[in-house]
Structure 1
Amino acid sequence: MTNRQILSLELNELCAPLLDRWMADGSLPNFRRLHGQSHVFETQADTYSPDQLEPWIQWYSIHTGLAFDQHHVFRLTDGRGAEHRDIWQVVGEAGSPVMNFASMNARPFAKPGSLYVGDPWSEQGDAFPPELNIYNRFVGHNVREYSNADNRLSANDYAAFLRFALTHGLSAATAMRITSQLAGEKLGKTGSHARVAILDALQYDVFAHYYRRIRPRFASFFANSVAHLQHSYWRHMDPSAFTVKPEAGETARYGSAIYDGYVAMDAMVGRFLDLAAKHDALIVFQTALSQQPFARYENQGGQHFLRLRDHKAFLAQCGIVCRSADPTMTHQYMLRFNSAADRAAAKARLEAFTLADGYQVFATRDDGDADALYFGCQVSWQIDDDTPMTDTAKGRTLTIGSLLYAMEGVKSGCHSPSGSLWIATGEHVKHGAPVSILDIYPTMLDLMGLPAPEADHRGHSLAALLSTRAAA
C-alpha cells in the first residue's frame, strides 16, 4: 500500500446515515461500489466547541495534521495566509506534482507542473496556472452571490468562461445538463437550487482535464453542493424533526432536494472511479464533518438570513475605508484594513445601524486581528422590507429592504462532529472504532511512502489497518 498515487475526494459534510439509506435502496450505485472496495472509518473532529466545528477549520486540520489549538486558523480566508506545512507542500517538496482543486481554506502555491485553485469563498485571482483564474473567479462569484439578483455577471464574463470551458474539458454530457437545467428553470419545472449539481459536473470536467495532463502524486477535489442543500432543505426532507413545518408547496418543490443532490454526486463519484482506475490511483473519500437537524431558532420561526444588496456601495456610502471587502459564507463579509484606526472606525460605523427597539442590525466580530474585521446582519428572523432602521451616525431613517434582502429558505441543517473516511484499497472492511481527523494526514503520507510528520503532530497513521488480517 506504499508509494500510491492518491486522489482525495473531499465531499463536504455528507452524512453516513443518508449514504447508508440510499446505498441500500439502490439510489447510489457508485457510492455503493466505492464503499464495497474500501476500508470504512467513522471520523471525529479534533474539537467539539460549537464555534470551532466549522469546515474551514476542520479541513485545515486535515490538510496540516494539526489540531485547532495548534494552528489557530479560525476564519474562512485565514488559511491562505497561514504558514503551516500542508499536504500539498510536503508532497511537492518531495519532487512530485500536486493538485489542489478548491480545497477549503488552503494556502496558495505556484509550483511549475502542479495546480492550485482556491476555494470559491477565498479565491483572490491567484490560481495556478494563471489561466484558471477565468474559471475560479466565475465560480467564486456565482457561489458567493448566487442569491443576489442585483449582482450578476455580464454577458462578456459568461462568454469568457464558456471559451475557457470549451477548451478545458467541458463534456457533452455536462453541456446538455446545463442546457436542460436552464430550460427547466425558464419553464418553471426545475428550481435554481439544482444548479449546484451542475457546478460539480463542470468542476469535474476541468479537474479531469488537468489531472490527465499533470498526473499528480496527490490530488484533492472539494465539492460543497450537498452540504449547501442540507443546510437549506433538511426540514423539507424530514419535517418531523422541526416545529416549523414547510408549506405544502415548498415540500413539493424542495422535499427531494437533498436526495437529488446525493444522486447527482453519485454520478460524479462514478466518473472519479473510472478516472482513478485508468491512472492506478487510490481514492480516499472523506467528509470532515456531517450534518444533523438544526432546531435552535424554531421558537422564532427558524433562522433566516439577510444579506447586503451591494456591499461595496454600502461601505462607500458609510465612508468605510478598507483595503479589501469580500463576501464569505452566507451573510458575512471579511474586511481588511491598512491601519488599526481604519478598522476601529469601520467597526463603530457598522454598529450604528439599529432597529426601532435599539437592536443592532450588523454584528462585528473581533478575533484580535488588527488587520481584519468580520461583519454581517444579525437579524435572524423573518422581517418585512419596509421595517424602519435608523442610522444613528447620521440621524437618518431608512428601511431594511433598501440595503438588505432576505435569502431564500430557513437554516435547517447544522454541523455534526462525525464524518466519513473511506480508503479504496480494493477490499471492504468496516472499522468499528472512530478515528480522529488528525489521523488522515499521517495516513496519506504513509500511503505515498513519505516520511512521517514531525513529533508535534498528534495523529497516527491508519495504514497498518488497511489489510483484511490487520482489521480482523
Structure 2
Amino acid sequence: MKNKTILLGLNELNFDYIKFYIDQGLLPNFKKVFDIQTPIETTSENHYKFLEPWIQWASVHTGKTYEEHKIFRLGDIVDRPELVQIFEELENEGLLIGAVSPFNADNRLRNPAFFVPDPWTITKPSGNWIVKALYLAVHQSVNDNAKSKLNFKSIISLGLGLFLYVPMSRWSHYVKKILNVKKPGFKALILDSLLADVHLTLWKKYKPDFSNLFLNSGAHIQHHYLFNSKAYNGDIKNPDWYCQEGYDPLIHILSEYDIQIGKLLNLNNVKLLVATGLHQQPHEHLTFYWRLKEHEKFAKNIGVKRFKEILPRMSRDFLIKFDNEIDAANAENLLNSFYASKDDIKLFEVDNRGKSLFVELIYPNDILEKDSIYSKDSKFKLNNFKSFISFVAIKNGEHNGIGYLTSNFDLKAEKKINLIALKAIIKKVALSKD
C-alpha cells in the first residue's frame, strides 16, 4: 500500500523548550519523533519585518523567498493566482488532497477531499455543509476574539462540529478544558484541539494522499505567556493579574500537540512531517498588545472617509479597502498622524498597496481610562481611547527566522536547510512509491 503524507504545521514552536520538557519526562510522542529524526533547522528571511508566519508559510507552499513571492499580508495569496502552491501541484500529479487551516493558502483545488481555510484568508471551503459551517464559526470566533463572545449561529456550528467530528472518547477532554476556559491559553487550546480532531476524522473518512493540518495556538501562547514557562530562564515576569506565577500555559498546549502527534503516529502507512516555519525567542521588554473593538466605528470617529470595508486580521491588524488610491492615501496620512497624548508614541503602522491599507496598532504601553490620542496633522483629539480598544496580551515571545523540521522517518537531509527547500521535500515524500 502506498504511503500517505501528512504535513503538521506547529507554527513558531521553540523546539529547545520542547526538549526541556522532554528532559522532565514529558511529551513522549515528541520524543519519539525527535529520536527518529533529529530536528533539522530551517532558515528564512534576514530582515525582521519579513519574519511573519504568513510570509514564511507562503514560502513553504510556493518554494519561493519573500523577494520572489512578495506575499507581505495575511490573505494576499488569494490575489496571486500565478503563484503555484504545493496543494495544486500535488493534485496535478494525481494525488487526493486534504487541508485544515493551511496558513495563508488559497483553495484552488478541483476536487479536494476537504479544504478548511485558515480563519483569516478569504477563500472557499470544500466539504459538506457542516464542515463549511464549522469553518465560518471558527472564522467568526477568531476574528471577533476581542469581543470574547460568539454569535448564536457560531455556537450551534461549533457544537455540531464537536458532536459529529470529535469521537466520544474525547468529549470528556473538552468538558475539562471548557471548565478551565478562563485560564490563560485555554480558549486557544480548545480551538486547536477541535481543528486537530476534525482533521483526523476527515482524514480517516477520505484518506487523502497528502493533507496539511496547521495549528497556531502554540504560537499564540508563546507570544503572550512565554515568561510563565518553566523552560524560560529570563528575568521578566508577567503580572499575576495577567498570568499567575507558577502556572505554565505552554506545557498545556504542548501536551495537547503531543497527544495529537501520538494519534498521527498510530495511523498505518503515514509519513508525518512536522514543521514550524520559524520559532520564537523571549521578548526583552514589557510590551502591551491592543486591538480595536469596532473597527468601522473607530475609523469614522477619527475621520477616515469613503472606505469600502474594514476586515480584521490577526491580533492587532486590520485591512481597509477603498475605491481609489486618493482616498487610501488620505486615510494613510491620517492614521500615520495619530499619537498617544501622554507619551507622544505613534499608534499605527500602515502598509499602502494603492487601494488598500494594512494597518497594525503598534502602541506598546498600558492605556488608562483617561488616556487620549491626537492627530498631529488635523489636531483632532479622541478622548477615552480605551473605550475603543480591548486588551489582547502582553508580548512575551518574538519571531526568530530559524524554524524546525522533523518526521517519523529518516529524511536523509542536511542538518540545516533553507525554508524554501521544504516544498521540494514535501513533494518528494508525497510522490514517493514507498
The question of a shared fold, defined as TM-score above 0.5 by the shorter chain, is answered with yes
Q: Within 5 Å, give how 1:107-146 maps onto structure 2.
A: 107-124=106-123, 126-129=124-127, 131=129, 132-146=131-145
Amino acid at match of 2:62: T
> Runs of 5+ in structure 1 lacking a partner?
451-462, 467-472
Q: Within 5 Å, give how 1:24-423 maps onto structure 2.
A: 24-36=23-35, 38-83=36-81, 84-124=83-123, 126-129=124-127, 131=129, 132-149=131-148, 152-167=149-164, 169-185=165-181, 191-237=183-229, 240-242=233-235, 244-247=236-239, 252=244, 255-274=247-266, 276-277=267-268, 280-295=269-284, 298=285, 302-317=286-301, 318=303, 320-351=305-336, 353-356=338-341, 359=344, 362-367=347-352, 369-390=353-374, 393=378, 395-407=380-392, 409-423=393-407
2:421 aligns to what?
Answer: 439
Q: Deviations over 1:219-278 (max 9, x none)?
A: 100001111111111122267524x4334565635731112221121111112222x32x
Aligned length: 429
Q: Deviations over 1:16-68 (max 9, x none)?
A: 212222223321011122233x3334222232211111111111111111122
Q: Is the 8 A contact 1:12 1:288 kept in 2?
A: yes
2-structure distance, mates of 1:447, 1:364:
41
Q: Deviations over 1:134-176 (max 9, x none)?
A: 1122112222332334xx2222331233234423x12224432
- Return the offset for 1:3: 6.1
- Return the offset for 1:422: 1.3
- Return the offset for 1:89: 0.8
- Return the offset for 1:449: 3.2
1-structure distance, mates of 2:219, 2:341:
36
1-structure distance, mates of 2:358, 2:255:
36
Question: What TM-score does the superposition give when structure 2 sets the normalisation length?
Answer: 0.90
Q: Is the 8 A contact 2:99 2:213 kept in 1?
A: yes
Amino acid at match of 1:356: S
Q: Is the 8 A contact 2:224 2:395 kept in 1?
A: yes
1-structure distance, mates of 2:381, 2:417:
56
The 1:350–1:173 alpha-carbon spacing in structure 2 relative to 1, beyond 3 Å, is: farther
Q: Is the 8 A contact 2:369 2:385 kept in 1?
A: yes
Q: Is the 8 A contact 1:3 1:448 kept in 2?
A: no
**Root mean square deviation of aligned Cα:** 2.7
Amino acid at match of 1:448: A
2-structure distance, mates of 1:345, 1:175:
52
> Runs of 5+ in structure 2 lacking a partner?
none
The 1:394–1:433 alpha-carbon spacing in structure 2 relative to 1, beyond 3 Å, is: closer
2-structure distance, mates of 1:156, 1:393:
42
Q: Deviations over 1:196-219 (max 9, x none)?
A: 222222112211222123221111
2:271 counterpart SS class: strand
Pick which of 63-72 and 318-327 moved more: 318-327
2:200 counterpart SS class: helix
Question: What TM-score does the superposition give when structure 1 sets the normalisation length?
Answer: 0.83
Q: Is the 8 A contact 1:10 1:223 kept in 2?
A: yes
Q: Is the 8 A contact 1:303 1:381 kept in 2?
A: yes
Q: Is the 8 A contact 1:304 1:410 kept in 2?
A: yes
2-structure distance, mates of 1:65, 1:333:
27
Pick which of 170-179 and 385-394 moved more: 385-394
1:135 counterpart SS class: helix
The 1:394–1:134 alpha-carbon spacing in structure 2 relative to 1, beyond 3 Å, is: farther
1:40 counterpart SS class: coil
The 1:432–1:344 alpha-carbon spacing in structure 2 relative to 1, beyond 3 Å, is: closer
The 1:381–1:5 alpha-carbon spacing in structure 2 relative to 1, beyond 3 Å, is: same
2-structure distance, mates of 1:41, 1:294:
24
